[in-house]
Amino acid sequence: MRTITIKPAAITHNLNQVKKLAPTSKVLAMVKANAYGHGVAAVLPALQQADGVGVATLIEALEARKLGWDKTIGLIEGAFTVNEWQQAIEHDISCVIHHAPQLTWALAHIPPINSATRVVWLKYNTGMNRLGFNEQTLIPAAKLLHHAGYQLILTTHFANADNHSHPLNAIQIQRFNDMLSTLRETINCDVKGSLCNSAGIVNFSKHHHDWVRPGIMLYGSAPVIDQSACELNLQPAMEFSAQIIALQTVNAGDTIGYGSRWLAQQDTKTALVSIGYGDGYPRIIGDDVYVSVIDTINHKSYPCAVIGRVAMDMIVIDVSNVPEGIALNSKVILWGDTPHVDEVAAHAGTISYELLCRLSLRPQRLQG
Amino acid sequence: MRTITIKPAAITHNLNQVKKLAPTSKVLAMVKANAYGHGVAAVLPALQQADGVGVATLIEALEARKLGWDKTIGLIEGAFTVNEWQQAIEHDISCVIHHAPQLTWALAHIPPINSATRVVWLKYNTGMNRLGFNEQTLIPAAKLLHHAGYQLILTTHFANADNHSHPLNAIQIQRFNDMLSTLRETINCDVKGSLCNSAGIVNFSKHHHDWVRPGIMLYGSAPVIDQSACELNLQPAMEFSAQIIALQTVNAGDTIGYGSRWLAQQDTKTALVSIGYGDGYPRIIGDDVYVSVIDTINHKSYPCAVIGRVAMDMIVIDVSNVPEGIALNSKVILWGDTPHVDEVAAHAGTISYELLCRLSLRPQRLQG
């Protein structure tokens, strides 16, 4: 079976790692994009010790509410329309406000005094240049919101926090800290701050402020370029697996799969595995990637190279090192404990985030 | 809204193109991998003129039956277990038999005389080297199946049919035709043949045999390297779109997004679009890819470059060429009529099949 197995205990463990790194900050656990592909329903129960969850769309926010999440929900791109703003009020969603139309909606439709929507995450563009107010427009926006009765969390987003030594980090931190001081001095001493995503949590421990916003590290991947998930004591929360459905021996000189890319240098025992890019295993994977075959009898793990091009529904692997007679029907781990999804992503020229998110509907979802 | 709009009329049109190219063959329309990401429920009604549909897993086969498909369903990797074989009989599924265990199950559990499972697609490995019997093992398998009362369709799969001049094509065709002749002479003159996928349908019109198996061309993408979808009179069946949710001007010298990859050479009007790799838009997309912005007033289309790295939930585009005041909330077409998904795939270093299949749950599904 094509299977995605989610491990809630790993997510709880990873959340505890966040809390150890940022012990005085509240935690907005990111569950956008269906909890980075893990499935929000499977993930929320593992996040009970978080102070809130972060989502990218109103639909995702409403789904989290429907699933019983009764604490903070932060809508990190805010409402897309005035109607969405009104729905946010109705369901007690805290919104980012990052541009003038959202400010207008907030001033025209003020939530009830005890509504969670009274807390707004005011987005400051410190150098990512995607969204947010600039230095000139942010202060007037903050004043208007404060006078209308909103509580403010100043927030921004790093462009290069994964790389500790990138020069933009110091600039973004300085701009953010300066603006937070200004707002506290000129508007209200109780303005809160939120600067750090996972990479910031790891790399910039002096700048955690009131709320941290971990995402990828909750799911067990490394958020920084110079420390592995293992070194950070993070556990992978997903195992992506399939099974061997046929065995063959290809002869020296034979080629395998589309484009005849892989050429057998010698007679080679191969196995067909029921997984492909139609499930979300990336087509770009080359012959330098391995999967783990778990034999059906001893449950021993064998690393086996992917050979030939990944197709929509199947891949071929080299099972020369797997003992005769125990390979058929064996479980094949595409990513999980080993190989780690970070390793597979590096070979696929991307980051684990994308592999986790771009899984299709086809694999069966389980909890482990 | 993040939206995937499926156009059943385009699929029916494309099926008609298949029928024009292969007028004397039956058509097994491939709907595996959730109909190449289009959604099998949306696609089946558009395929009423096909003779059967092809799927990769028993779950997909049962879904097609549940949706009311009462003609042939071909399970193209066959049953994975004896239990699956028995379920195939129960639901009248025609299976590929590609290795000895499947042969054993078929001989041990013979379907009723009028069952569609009596028709087996006997897989011959002619050079793809993924699955199938070889020259020595196929004939005895065919004899056993014939004597047990099965009707046979000899089938194989091209490795390089997209490239007309690849030398393996002629070898595969020759091996297939020779084996089909042998089976017809030695077993039964009524053994059928099925050789061609979409690329084979286009490139090898003399070898269509009894069943053709179109996949990608049904969805409007080009199956061959030297003719475009337009040249083949195929219509894209999917429009993948989002909307502009904010506008900004970035200053000359500013960088955009993760890794600060894109540097503004001059002051640039940018727009934030609510789409990312969390929806299935590939992260690898570079600055040479455009999207179409459809303005909210005149519905005119403007090509706009993607600038900066694709993130999980958003991208930034250059809207310098879109008239002031009409960009916010505009629809943005990631792929559809223009750009065609084949163009986007080429820029992403992959094929349209993968982009279509690797869409996530998040976008809303509509029919157009």
- What are the sequence ranges of the domains in chain B? 8-219, 238-367
Does the distance separating the beta carbons of B280 and A81 come in below 8 Å?
no
Query: Residue A1: pLDDT above 80?
Result: yes
CB–CB of A281/A315 below 8 Å?
Answer: yes
- Cβ atoms < 10 Å from Cβ of A181: 12
How distant, in Å, are the alpha carbons of A157, A248, A280, B348 from that of A324?
A: 53, 12, 30, 40
Mean pLDDT for the stretch of residues A194-201: 98
Confidence tier at A327 by pLDDT (50, 70, 90): confident
Enumerate the known binding-site residues of B for substrate: 130, 312
Q: What is the pLDDT of residue A182?
A: 98
Reply yes or no on whether A143 is catalytic. no
Name every chain A residue with its beta carbon within 8 A of the beta carbon of B256.
128-130
User: With a CB-CB cutoff of 8 Å, which residues 196-235 of chain A face chain B?
Assistant: none
Fold of B8-219: TIM Barrel (3.20.20)
For residue B368, pLDDT over 90 is answered with no
Chain B residues within an 8 Å CB radius of A328: 101
Residue in B127, B129, B349 closest to A284 by CB: B349
Catalytic residue among B7, B19, B26, B258: B258
Which residues of B, range 19-48, sit inside 8 Å of A by Cβ? 32-34, 36-37
Q: Shortest CA distance to B273 belongs to which of B294, B297, B301?
A: B294
CB contact under 8 A, B127 and A255: yes
Q: Minimal Cα distance from B318: which residue of A? A: A130
Q: Tell me the per-residue pLDDT of B209-221, one tens digit each, with 9 for 90 and over.
A: 999 999 999 999 9
Place of tokens 């157009």: B368
Q: Kindly list the distances between the CA atom of residue A228 and the CA atoms of A160, A200, A207, in Å, as whole numbers in the listed order.
A: 17, 15, 22
Instruction: Evaluate if residue A85 carries a pLDDT over 90.
Output: yes
Q: Do B257 and A128 touch (CB under 8 A)?
A: yes
Query: Number of CB pairs < 8 Å for A and B?
Result: 203
Q: Which residues of A touch B351 (CB under 8 A)?
A: 283
3-state DSSP call for residue B348?
coil
Domain A238-367 has CATH 3.30.43.10: no
Torsion of CA A348, A352, A356, A358, to 10 degrees: -50
For residues A361 and A354, what is the distance between their CA atoms, to the nearest angstrom? Answer: 15
Which tokens go with A170?
A: 């110091």
Q: Are domains B8-219 and B238-367 of this chain identical in fold?
A: no
Predicted confidence at residue A18, as pLDDT, reads 98
Residue A283 marked as a ligand binder: no
Contact between A208 and A176 under an 8 Å Cβ cutoff? The reply is no
Q: Say whether residue B272 is in contact with chain A using an 8 A CB cutoff.
A: yes
Tokens of B300: 């005119």
Separation in Å, CA of B180 to nearest CA in chain A: 22
When pLDDT is averaged across residues B251-279 and rounded to a whole number, the result is 96
Clarify whether B150 is annotated catalytic.
no
Q: Is A130 annotated as a binding residue?
A: yes
* pLDDT recorded at residue A286: 87
B181-240 residue pLDDT tens: 999 999 999 999 999 999 999 999 999 999 999 999 999 999 999 999 999 999 999 999
Q: What is the pLDDT of residue B354?
A: 98
The mean pLDDT of B331-357, rounded to a whole number, is: 97
> What pLDDT score was predicted for residue A295?
87
Chosen for mutation from A36, A38, A130, A248 (greatest number of chain B CBs closer than 10 Å) is A130
Is a pLDDT exceeding 80 seen at residue A255?
yes
* CA gap A50, A16 in Å, rounded: 9
Which residues 65-124 of A have a C-beta within 8 angstroms of B?
76-77, 80-81, 98-99, 101
> Percent of chain A having pLDDT more than 70?
100
In chain A, which among 315-334 make CB contacts under 8 A with chain B?
316, 328-329
Q: Over the stretch A127-160, which tens digit does the pLDDT of each residue have?
A: 999 999 999 999 999 999 999 999 999 999 999 9
Give the other-Cβ count within 10 Å of A152's Cβ. Answer: 23
d(CA B313, CA B334): 14
How many C-alpha atoms does A331 have within 13 Å on its Cβ side?
Answer: 16
Residues B173 and A100: their CA atoms lie apart, in Å, by: 64
The DSSP letter of residue B236 is: -
Q: pLDDT (tens digit, 9 = 90+) per residue, A86-112? A: 999 999 999 999 999 999 999 999 999
pLDDT of residue B297 exceeding 90, the answer is no
Choose, from B7, B26, B32, B331, the residue flagged as catalytic: B32
What is d(CA A95, CA A85) in angstroms, rounded to the nearest whole number? 8
Please report which confidence band the pLDDT of residue A324 belongs to, taking 50, 70 and 90 as the band edges. confident
What are A227's two structure tokens?
């420390």
Q: Is the minimum CB–CB distance between A54 and chain B shorter than 8 Å?
A: no
Mean pLDDT, residues A338-356 taken together: 97
Q: What is the pLDDT of residue A297?
A: 85
Cβ distance A159 to B260 less than 8 Å, yes or no, reads yes
By Cβ distance, the residue of A159, A329, A354 closest to B283 is: A354
Q: Give the ipTM.
A: 0.96
Asked if residue A69 has pLDDT above 90, the reply is: yes
Cα separation of B165 and B173, whole Å?
Answer: 13
Report chain B's mean pLDDT, rounded to a whole number: 96
Categorize the per-residue pLDDT at A298 as very low, low, confident or very high, splitting at 50, 70 and 90: confident
B313 touches chain A (CB under 8 A): yes
Mean pLDDT for B329-351 is 97
Report the residue from B130, B280, B313 with minimal CB separation from A56: B313
User: Over chain A, what is the mean pLDDT?
Assistant: 96
